[in-house]
A and B are shown apart, each in its own frame.
Chain A
Amino acid sequence: MSRVKLAVTRGALAVLLLSSLPGCGSGGGKGLPPPPAPVCTPPVPQSSSLAEYAGSFHQRLELGTHKVNETVTFPVPSNVQSVTILEQQANADAAQTISLPWSSTAPNTPFPHSIYANGTQIFDVYNDAINPGTPETLRVYYFTTAAWTGALTIPNTAPMLQTVTGSPGGVPSGTWSLVVSDFANECPGIQGCSTVYAYPPSEYDITVLLKEGATPGPVSASGTMDVALYLATESLTASSAQASPDVQKMLSFYGGLLGAAGIAIGNVTYHDLDATLKAKYATINGDDATPCGDLAELLSHSVAGNQMNLFLVDAITSSSTGSATLVGLDGTIPGPASLGGTVQSGAAVSVSSLGKESLSGACSASPPDYYHCGNAEVAYIAAHETGHFLGLYHPTESDGTWFDPLAGTPQCACSSCGPSGAQCQNASGSVASPYAMTGYDCTRSTSCGGGDYLMFWVISAYSKGSLSSDEGQVMRANPLVQ
């Protein structure tokens, strides 16, 4: 995922928390000028493909289109392992971005304002959408920005995983409800926030996916996930990729990494993009996180189906002055499982290092050498982005002050794991170049861990692709895993 986006979200949601105003905006933007014509027309809501799986225990609840601030209810039976809420913008004229005082723009991200399970509030955007700090008490977590299309799979925190694995097991049953919202709707409650123009209120197509077991209980211990490879790169076609030893070796590494979570790779399909799309998006610019950006446009060419869509590109660049090139980029955390053709339906992975090795014999090493073998590195990046799509955050973010909401995943705090004299980020985030946690820092001891984990923010000589039990459960709870 783009960490630029995440940083914006943190700031926005931190202010949301600090603000005394409730999120009661209508999105109407009284007094603001009318909006200009949108830069592009993003895709209309797509249909979930989940029901196409015969013999599985799933429900797909299509709950219709709802404006922000409307309450949507749905039943959750007693045997449900996970609940996934999919929100797709249905108002083509709605705001695509909002303007924040500390950042020029942020994508207008859909998210529930609140979620209730059988009368008990389990999510509140003011309290549960920032870094928890205390994962022991957080029941649902949401912390990403993703314009136009959003997703949330529950369980994704330590307490809810305990509920699911405990007695009677499964997520809380009964009548669930959520209040539809997005950044533009919450904007009046965010200090300094503006939608700039008087956009009409957003309307979201709401689909809920219930992943069920035969009986109440924990998330299944294993599962299968289909993968679709899209050859945006100009160095491969669908047919050459299938015949390429490097691609096949990369897929083998990829399967090994996901296997640590109990996930087997199912069908792998290969998709050529047409010549015009290849010419436009073999190299993508990662700066624009709006629904009209390169990544959104690329991901919207994913086909219908319940598979992990990986777009292989030649390079991911940045034209802004404040960042540098990236090797992986996903739409949102989690991704909209079972929805093809949305602006968030997958991830982009650079294949610039495919077929190369920087240390002789690295690609024959066991365990895999993700740092020196290009095929292994590309697989690692693809698996990392897949982890995001399935709902995982970085266990420790780069500055060592933000952590994922899982209790069983190692943390690596700058204050205690950074070297002596490290200039750690402070609570207000005002350190311009805070110390960045290294793989070395975060593999030093049991209290400074996570540097070898798949979801650590860095791939390094310390990378092993490790996953905690909690992380595995979150991944398998996603409806992408069957």
Chain B
Amino acid sequence: MLTSTVPFLLAALLGAAPPAADGQLRLAVDTYLGSIDTPISAARWKALGPRAPAVLSAIARDEGDLPGRRATAMAALGLVGGPEALAAARELSVAGAPFAVRVEAVNALSRLVSPSELRAALAPVMKGAAEARVRAVAAEALARHAPEETCGAVQAQAEAEAPADRPRYHRALAACARR
């Protein structure tokens, strides 16, 4: 009895909620999202089970949460997959989300959408996003994951950019060069 009570008392003293049985998932998600410089493997994210995407999706969409945490949740959704992940990625890849979140939404799309469908999903972002840095992120995702012939469009977009923005495409163009 004592051993099971002490942790909860300590947690209360620390001002943080103890992990109730149904809070274990939330605790694990919070822990993974709090990783500073340790990558969390896809296997670890997936092992959180079928309820994880809903928890992650809520965090990624939560405009009151810190952008870094939201971005990490979005990146995790790209690894766990599923309809909720795809919906969040589509929603957050468009204007309105903080840049870090948007970057991860675009990257998540490249994992969640089949290569053949990726061009349709991200070409509008590459060509139409207001921010050059977002266009470049979409270009990189296309360069890495879309069919090789997409590299022509990536190169054309890089050349269409203002000279000051072309360096943003260095990773995209390098990825195309490796294909």
Query: Which A residues are in CB contact (< 8 Å) with B167?
Result: 276-277, 279-280
- Whether A323 sits at the interface, judged by CB under 8 Å, is yes
Task: Return the chain A residue nearest B108 by Cβ.
Answer: A324
Which candidate, B68-76, B85-93, B149-157, is the interface stretch facing chain A? B68-76
B68 → chain A, closest Cβ, in Å? 4
Query: Taking A3-B38, A440-B16 as contacts, is the C-beta distance between A324 and B10 under 8 angstroms?
Result: no
- Least CB separation from B31: chain A residue: A438
**Looking at the complex, which one of A3, A283, A327, A452 makes contact with B72 (CB distance below 8 Å)?**
A327
**Which chain A residues (266-324) contact chain B, with CB distance < 8 Å?**
275-277, 279-280, 282-283, 285-286, 294, 314-315, 317-319, 321-324
Question: Given contacts A350-B100, A433-B43, A433-B46, is CB(A283)–CB(B137) below 8 Å?
Answer: yes
Contact A328 B14 (CB under 8 A): no
By a CB distance below 8 angstroms, the chain A residues around B171 are 285, 294
Q: Which residues of the partner chain A approach B36 to less than 8 Å between Cβ atoms?
A: 326-328, 381, 384-385, 457-459
CB-defined contacts of A350 to chain B, threshold 8 Å: 68, 100
Q: Which residues of A contact B140 (CB under 8 A)?
A: 319
**Per DSSP, are chain B's interface residues mostly helix, strand or loop, or mixed?**
helix
Cβ of B40 under 8 Å from chain A: yes
B164 contact from A279, A329, A460, Cβ within 8 A: A279
- Taking a contact as CB atoms under 8 Å apart, the answer to whether B38 and A440 are in contact is no
Q: Give the interface size class of chain A.
A: 35 or more
Contact with A along B138-165 (1 / 0, CB 8 A): 0010001000000000000000000011
Assess whether A358 is in contact with B164, with CB atoms less than 8 Å apart: no
- CB interface residues, A 357-394, toward B, < 8 Å: 357-358, 371-372, 374, 377, 381, 384-385, 388, 394
1/0 per residue, CB under 8 A from A, across B59-80: the answer is 0000011111101100110110
Give the CA-CA distance A445 to B75 in the complex, in Å. 33
A383 to B19, CA, bound (A): 28
Query: 8 Å CB contacts to A: which residues of B1-45?
Result: 6-7, 10-11, 14-16, 18-19, 24, 27-28, 30-32, 34-45
Q: How far is the CA of A354 from the CA of B71 in the complex (A)?
A: 14
Interface assignment of A356: CB less than 8 Å from any CB of chain B: yes
The yes or no answer to A4 lying at the interface (CB within 8 A) is yes
**Is the CB of A330 closer than 8 A to any CB of chain B?**
yes
Is A2 close to B, CB under 8 A? yes
Nearest chain B residue, comparing its CB with the CB of A459:
B34
A322 touches B39 (CB 8 A): yes
- Whether A172 is near chain B, meaning CB under 8 Å from some CB there, is no
Q: Give min CB distance, B35 to chain A, whole Å.
A: 6
Interface residues, chain B, CB within 8 Å of chain A? 6-7, 10-11, 14-16, 18-19, 24, 27-28, 30-32, 34-47, 64-69, 71-72, 75-76, 78-79, 98-100, 103-104, 107, 111, 133, 137, 140, 144, 164-168, 170-171
Measured CB to CB, the residues of A under 8 A from B are: 1-4, 234, 275-277, 279-280, 282-283, 285-286, 294, 314-315, 317-319, 321-330, 350, 352-353, 356-358, 371-372, 374, 377, 381, 384-385, 388, 394, 397-398, 419, 432-434, 436-440, 443-445, 452, 457-462
25 residue pairs A–B, Cβ–Cβ below 8 Å? A279-B167, A283-B133, A315-B99, A318-B107, A322-B39, A322-B41, A322-B43, A324-B76, A327-B37, A328-B36, A328-B37, A377-B66, A385-B36, A432-B47, A433-B47, A436-B32, A437-B31, A439-B34, A440-B27, A443-B10, A444-B7, A445-B7, A457-B35, A458-B35, A461-B16
